[in-house]
Amino acid sequence: MGNLRFEAVAEAYKKKPLDVPTPAERPSEFFGKYVFNRQKMFKYLPRDVYDKLIDVIDNGTRLDRSIADAVAKGMRQWAEENGVTHYTHWFQPLTEGTAEKHDAFVEFDGQGGMIEEFSGKLLVQQEPDASSFPSGGIRNTFEARGYSAWDPTSPVFIIDDTLCIPTIFISYTGEALDYKAPLLRALHAVNVAATDVARLFYPDVKKVTSNLGWEQEYFLVDESLYSARPDLMLTGRTLMGHDSAKNQQMDDHYFGAIPERVQAFMKDLEIQALELGIPCKTRHNEVAPNQFELAPIFEDTNLAVDHNMLLMQLMKRVARKHSFRVLLHEKPFAGINGSGKHNNWSLSTDTGILLHGPGKTPEDNLRFVVFIVETLMGVYRHNGLLKASIMSATNAHRLGANEAPPAIISSFLGKQLTELLEAIEHSSNRDLFNVAGKQGFKLDIPEIPELLIDNTDRNRTSPFAFTGNRFEFRAVGSEANCAAAMIVLNTAVAEALTDFKQRVDRLITSGTDKTEAIIDIVREDIKTCKPIHFDGNGYSDEWKAEAARRGLDTENSCPRVFERYLDEDAIQMFERMNVMRRYELAARNEVKWNTYTKKIQIEARVLGDIAMNHIVPVATHYQSQLAKNVQNMYSIFSHEEADTLTARNKKIIREIAERTQAIETGVEELVEARRIANRIDSEHLRAITYHDTVAPKMEEIRKQIDKLELIVTDELWTLPKYRELLFIR
C-alpha cells in the first residue's frame, strides 16, 4: 500500500488550470444576470406594484401584503424563464452559515394533476423547523415552529434551479434566531440617530445608510492534499505541522503574480459572483503562501452581509471545480499570516454626503469631526463588546499574530486627524472657532480634505483604523458572518449619536447658539473617548499595560470575552436601541459558549485520533528500522566501532521513545480533561474549562508531533507537510 502523502502530492502535480468561459459581454452587461433587481422588477411587475415595492426598499415603509401575489407572480415568471423549478427561503441561523429548504413551484390542480404555482403567501412567509437550529434555550426541542420572513431590501437571486429569497428567521414567539433580524434593527437605529444629527448641518437629509465593504481573505489548497489531512477536513486547520523552510519570510507572495490555476479559479468565481450581483472589484495574492483576497465595491451593509455569505458559499463550490479546497479558517497554518475579513464601514446620506468624509466648507468640516468623534465614543464605551462581536474559537488563533490586530480594541486616526482633535480638545474660549451667529461659522484650521485623503498613514496593528473616509474594522475573522460585528458597531454608534443629539438639544433649549452647542459637546466627547485612541504598536507589551491603565478590555480568553454581551451597559444599549432584548442576548451567549466548546472538542478528538493512529505508529515503525540497523551494525563491526557508528541512531531512537511517550501521555490527559469538562452543566463554565484545560494540552501534544516530523524519515510520514500544502503547483 502506497504512502497517501506521496500519492496526494503526485496528484497535485498533475493539476492544470481549467478553461473558464469568458462571457461575450463586459462585466457591466452581465452584472446581476441572476438577480431580481430593479430592472427586472420594472419589467415583470405592474407599475403600481413596482412603485410600492421600491418605496419599501428605499424608504423603509411597511410592505403591503396585498401586492405580494403580484410580486410573486412576476418573480416566478422571471425565474422560470431562467430554468428555475424550486424556491427557498435563504436565511442565516446562528450556525455561522446559511440555511435553505427547497420547494418546487407545484401544487395539485384538483383534477389529479399538478400546476406551477408560487403565491404571495409563500414568498412573504414560511415555517421552517426551528427546533434543530441553535437557539440558546429560547426554544425547547419539542417546540419546532419558527418563521422565515422575506426581506425585500435584499434582492432575490437564482442559484442553479432554485429561486433564493433572503429572509429573517424568528421563533414562534418572535425572538430573532438569526443574524439578519437584529442587523436590520441596528441599521434602522443608526439611520434614525444619524439622520437626526446630520440634520443639524443639512436639514434636507431624509435617510442615512450604513455602508460596508468587506475584504475576504482565504487560502487555497490542492484538493488531493486536503483529502490526505484529516485535521483540515474536519476542523478547517492544521492541528500539527512544522514550519516550512520557506514560507512568507521573503515577502515575495504579497501582490505577486497570481498562479495560473488560481487565476482560472478567480476568473470563474468572479463571473459567477458578478452574475449574482456581487460587485467584485479587487483580487490579489496576500502575504502568506497560497493566501489570496477578494474585495467588492462598497454596498448597503445589509446587502453586503448577504453578498459575503453568498460568496463564501459560492467560492467553496467553484474551488472544487478547479481541484482546490478553500480554507476560510482564520489560522489554518501556524507561523504564517492568518486570514481576516476587514470590514470597511462608513455612513452616507440620501443626499450623497459621506458622513465620515471631510468636506470643503467649515460646516462640512465640523460635521466630519462630529461623526468621527461620536463613532469613537461608541467604540470606546463598548470596546469589550466590539471585541466579543469578532471573537471566536477560530479567530482567537489569529488575533495578535502576523499582522493581525491584537485582542484589544483601539482606534488609529493618523497624525493629521489626531492633531486636529487634540487642538480642539485643548483650545480655550473657542480659539479655533470664529462663530458668527446666524451668518454661520468658520473653523480656523487647515483644509481637512488635503490632510486626510492622501496623507493619512495606516496601522496594521490597529483593530479599528480610520483610513481617510471610513473606518476599517480589521479584527473581523475570515469565516465570520459580518453581521455580528455590524450589529454591535452600528448599535453602539446609534447610541452615541442619540446621546450627542440629546445633549446638544438641551444646550440649544437653554439658549446656547446651535454651533456653539455642537462645539461644546464634541469637545467634551473628544476628552471622554481619548483612551480608545492609539496610533502606536498594538503588539508591544507596553501597549497591553497602557491599555489596562486606560480601562480598555484586555481579556483574551474567548469564553470570557463573550461575557461582555451580558454587561449591564451592553444590555441597556441593545434594549434602548430596540435591537435585542436581555433574554435574547443571554440565549445567544449560550449558543456562543456551546459553539466554542464543540469546536475545541472536535479539534481535541481529531488530534487524539491522528496522534495515536498516524503519528505514533509511523514514529515507532521508523524507530524499529533504526533499532534493526543498530543491531546489524554490532553484528558487522567490533563493539567499540559499533558504539561510535550507532551513536546518532541510538540518540534518535531514544528521542522517538521519549516523544511518543509524551504524546501518549498527553492524549490520555487530553481525554480525561474533556471528560471532566463535559460533566459541567453550565455552558459558560464548560466553555471556560475547555479554554483553560483542554486547549493547552493540545498545544503540548502538537509540539511533540512537530518535533517528530523533523526526525522521522520523509518516506514514512503520511501527512502532507507545510512545504507541500503551501505552494500551489
Confidence at residue 692, expressed as pLDDT on a 0 to 100 scale: 97
- In angstroms, the CA 716 to CA 718 distance is 6
Residue pLDDT, tens place only, 681-690: 999 999 999 9
Average pLDDT, the chain: 90
Distance separating alpha carbons of residues 355 and 439, to the nearest angstrom = 23
d(CA 577, CA 574): 5
Q: Give the pLDDT band of residue 143 (cuts 50, 70, 90).
A: low
Q: Band of the pLDDT at 19, cuts 50, 70, 90?
A: low
Q: Write out the E strands in 388-429.
A: 411-412
Which is more confidently placed, 139 or 7? 7
User: pLDDT grade, residue 22 (50/70/90)?
Assistant: low
pTM confidence score: 0.93
What pLDDT shows up at residue 106? 86
Under 8 Å between Cβ of 531 and 445: no
Q: What is the pLDDT of residue 251?
A: 78
Q: What is the mean pLDDT of residues 485-512?
A: 97
More confident residue, 697 or 2: 697
| pLDDT given at position 622 | 96
pLDDT of 439 over the 50 cut = no
The region that residue 400 occupies, defined by phi over 0 for left and psi between -120 and 50 for alpha, beta otherwise, is left
What's the pLDDT band for 458 if we cut at 50, 70, 90? low
Question: Do 727 and 290 contact (CB within 8 A), yes or no?
Answer: yes
* Residue 25 pLDDT: 67
Closest by CA to 313, choosing from 344, 263, 262, 272, is 272
pLDDT tens, residue by residue, 526-537: 999 999 999 988
Q: What is the pLDDT of residue 107?
A: 82
* pLDDT in the model for residue 252: 81
CA distance 64 to 364: 38
Residues 318 and 229: beta-carbon distance below 8 Å? no
Q: Is the pLDDT of residue 142 over 80?
A: no
Q: Are 346 and 353 in contact (CB under 8 A)?
A: no
User: CA 379, CA 411: separation in Å to the nearest integer?
Assistant: 8
| Element at 344 (helix H, strand E) | strand 341-349
Least confident of 407-411, 432-436, 472-476: 432-436
Instruction: Looking at mean pLDDT, say which of 19-28, 130-139, 461-470, 576-585 comes out highest.
Output: 576-585
Residue 368 binned pLDDT confidence (cut-offs 50, 70, 90): very high
CA distance 277 to 7: 40
pLDDT band at 451 (very low <50, low <70, confident <90, very high): very low
Q: Are the beta carbons of 340 and 217 closer than 8 angstroms?
A: yes
Asked whether residue 437 carries a pLDDT value surpassing 80, the answer given is no
Q: Please, are residues 691 and 595 in contact by the beta-carbon 8 Å criterion?
A: no
pLDDT-derived band at 257, boundaries 50, 70, 90: confident
Residue 455 in this model has a pLDDT that exceeds 80? no
Q: What is the pLDDT of residues 694-719, one digit of tens each?
A: 999 999 999 999 999 999 999 999 99
Predicted confidence at residue 387, as pLDDT, reads 97
Q: Residue 436: which pLDDT band, with cuts at 50, 70 and 90?
A: very low
Which grid cell is 465?
A: 483604523
Q: What is the pLDDT averaged over residues 410-422?
A: 89
Cα 17 to Cα 210, 217, 261, 272, distances in angstroms: 39, 21, 4, 17
User: How sure is the predictor about 146, in pLDDT bands with cuts at 50, 70 and 90?
Assistant: confident
Q: Is 605 exposed, middle or buried (0-12, 13-18, 19+ CB in 10 A)?
A: middle
pLDDT recorded at residue 140: 63
Q: Percentage of the chain with pLDDT > 90?
A: 74
Q: What is the pLDDT of residue 446?
A: 39
